[in-house]
Amino acid sequence: MTAVATTIWPRALLFLAATALTAVAPAIAQQQKPNILVILADNTGYGDIGVYGGGELRGAPTPRLDQLAAEGLRLTQFLVEPACTPSRAALMTGRYSIRSGLSLVAVDGSTFSLPAKEVTMAEMLRETGYATAIFGKWHLGAQPYSQPQNKGFDEYYGIPPADTWDAFGMIRQTRLTKTLDVPLDKGPQIVEAKRGEPLKAVKPYTEEVRREIDWELVDRGVDFMKRQKQAGRPFFLYLPISRTHFPNLPSKRFEGASRIGQFGDSLMEGDAIVGKMLDALDDLGLAKDTIAVFASDNGPDGPGARAFGGDMPDIGSPGPYRGALGDVSEGAIRTAAIIRWPDHIRPRSSNAMFSIMDFFPTFARLAGGRMPDDRPIDGIDQSDLLLGHNDTGRREHLLTFVGPDLVAARWKQFRAYFVDVAPGRSGEGGATLMGGIGSSAAPMNGYPRVFNIEADPREEHNIGEMYNWVLGPLLGAVEQYKASLVKSPNAPSANMTRF
């Protein structure tokens, strides 16, 4: 071989190597996209989990969630919407639930359904190369265009898409009241579907199935992660579990596990479910490549909550705050959230304001996805907070809606109510009011009630007159929202009483 040929040959090798690297670069980049696992608890209160002041102190230890918090970012000001459907709509769309007409809880027989034009987090992630699956509760409507297999998910298994976890009681209740005689195969069913397929009934959703359903979801979730690892494809696994939603019927292995009855048993079972998924990530060697999120969709059932079979009532804890599921006060919309991504998210606690809507744009940034640009997006990219580039986050305000009404707003640590602060099912009296023009609540004379959540977490002292300057930024957030409706009107508001 001549000297010239010897010189050319290594250059040719370098060229071929560079060409090969260029060819596989997209595949490598694809593999480097983080997997995303979102475990969404149901009606678990701020004060139920150990690291939030519950756990062992409440008679129901939560060691796996406490461990997750030690390994990740624990949010102490994670804000949601007052109930299941609204929070899930906000999570999936990155928008206030009222924009999609889902600002009330969907119930069987109602027309509430996620509009076909809404873009979901799953659609965004699937477009950028993710395999997607949901195992559990959708609760965003029964219309075919709203079902998860038609809104970005490759796989769906769970309860009917418009129902919640107590749907199995329908058969027993209709027989008890002698109103209907519904055969088991015509009642609520466990369903499944692959992308673009119609729903297929798997088996009746009975009390026995309800007790074990979460472990079915875990098994399917682990299998899904295994398959995606083998395929070398990043995944988005959405696991909306049943714990701790009424009726809290534990599986046999957790019956009697706590010191506070079936609610505590269910809370401990939810903790074990999280632990099982985290163990699976370790076993598959995926822990460092996966953003793992645990969050709750809203506050807990409050006093007066239901017991099943004469057990201790299902009383979750809102921690230091006032309110429960269905209320509009702080205890209804502030819940637990923990985010872990080893070597990327530094373990710590943060009091930065973070909305459930913020996951959508944050995941889009971290996964290289595209956000819709033809509609208002209320979520905020919080990736800098997660990655430790700032400690304060980028959110300062949040609005709260119920049905067609804007009922409250948060700005920093201040919360204002635009309607009378009814305690709902929290069983507590109204606020202690200070004198002056701020002592009346809208709509009586048009002045909002204002509370400093940090100084007054129980929302007992209306400081609207003393701190009237707070209304400027609070009402500014309202005006900003109203301005967005000019070009992008909301879907028809959720409504079951005004015809």
Predicted local distance difference test score (pLDDT) of residue 494: 85
Q: Is residue 154 very low, low, confident or very high in pLDDT (cuts 50, 70, 90)?
A: very high
Is pLDDT at 16 greater than 60 in this prediction? no
Has residue 426 got a pLDDT over 70? no
The mean per-residue pLDDT over the stretch 441-455 comes to 77
pLDDT of residue 303: 59
Looking at residue 313, its pLDDT comes to: 83
Measured between alpha carbons, how far is 14 from 17 in angstroms, rounded to an integer?
5
Closest to 199 (Cα-Cα) out of 209, 190, 186? 190
State yes or no: pLDDT of 21 exceeds 70. no
pLDDT at site 306: 66
> Looking at the predicted structure, is the pLDDT value of residue 490 above 70?
yes
pLDDT tens string 69-83: 999 999 999 999 999
pLDDT of residue 52: 98
How far is residue 92's CA from residue 94's CA, in Å, rounded to a whole number? Answer: 6
Cα–Cα distances in Å, from 12 out to 19, 244, 280? 10, 63, 45
* Residue listed under structure tokens 């202690």: 432
Question: Residue 285: is its pLDDT beyond 80?
Answer: yes
For the segment 465-470, the average pLDDT, to the nearest whole number, is 94
Residue 237's H or E segment, with its range, is strand 235-240
How large is the average pLDDT for residues 366-371? 97
> Domains along the chain?
33-165+191-398 (3.40.720.10), 401-487 (3.30.1120)
Tokens 């949040």 identify what position? Answer: 398
Do residues 434 and 462 lie in contact, with contact meaning Cβ atoms separated by under 8 Å?
A: yes
- Average of per-residue pLDDT across 255-275: 96
Radius of gyration of the chain (CA): 24
- Residue-wise pLDDT tens digits, 378-391: 999 999 999 999 99
d(C-alpha 386, C-alpha 72), whole Å: 9
Residue 189 sits at φ, ψ, to 5 deg, of: -125, 145
With beta carbons less than 8 A apart as the criterion, state whether 335 and 355 touch: no
Q: Which residues are known catalytic residues? A: 84, 139
CA distance 300 to 133: 27
* Token couple for 398: 């949040």
Using the predicted structure, report yes or no on whether residue 8 has a pLDDT greater than 90: no
Lowest average pLDDT, out of 108-112, 275-279, 305-309, 465-469, goes to 305-309
pTM confidence score: 0.90
CB 336 within 8 A of CB 48: yes
Task: Give residue 421's pLDDT.
Answer: 57
What band does 499 get if pLDDT is binned at 50, 70 and 90? confident
Residue 111 confidence (pLDDT): 84
Q: How many CB atoms lie within 10 A of CB 226?
A: 14
Q: Is the pLDDT of residue 498 over 90?
A: no
How do 73-79 and 334-340 pair as beta strands? antiparallel
Residue 444 pLDDT: 39
Instruction: Note the pLDDT of residue 150.
Output: 98
403-410, long-range: CB within 8 Å, 24+ apart, which pairs?
403/103, 403/104, 403/493, 403/494, 403/495, 404/98, 404/103, 404/493, 404/494, 404/495, 406/478, 406/481, 407/328, 408/328, 409/474, 409/475, 409/477, 409/478, 410/79, 410/353, 410/453
Residue pair 154/194 in contact by the 8 Å Cβ criterion: yes
Give residue 319's region: left, alpha or beta (phi > 0; psi -120 to 50): left
Per-residue pLDDT, averaged over 45-49, amounts to 97
- For the cut 70, the answer to whether the pLDDT of residue 281 exceeds it is yes
Percentage of the residues of the chain whose pLDDT score is greater than 90: 78
Q: At what angle do helices 262-283 and 207-231 cross, to 10 degrees?
A: 20
Rounded to a whole number of angstroms, the distance between the first and last alpha carbons of the chain is: 91
* Per-residue pLDDT, 330: 95
- Split at pLDDT 50, 70, 90, the class of 40 is very high
What's the mean pLDDT when you consider all of the chain? 89
185-217 tens-digit pLDDT: 889 999 999 999 999 999 999 999 999 999 999
Higher pLDDT, 495 or 410: 410
Per DSSP bridges, beta strands 348-350 and 354-355 are: unpaired
- The tens digit of pLDDT for each residue in 210-247 reads 999 999 999 999 999 999 999 999 999 999 999 999 98
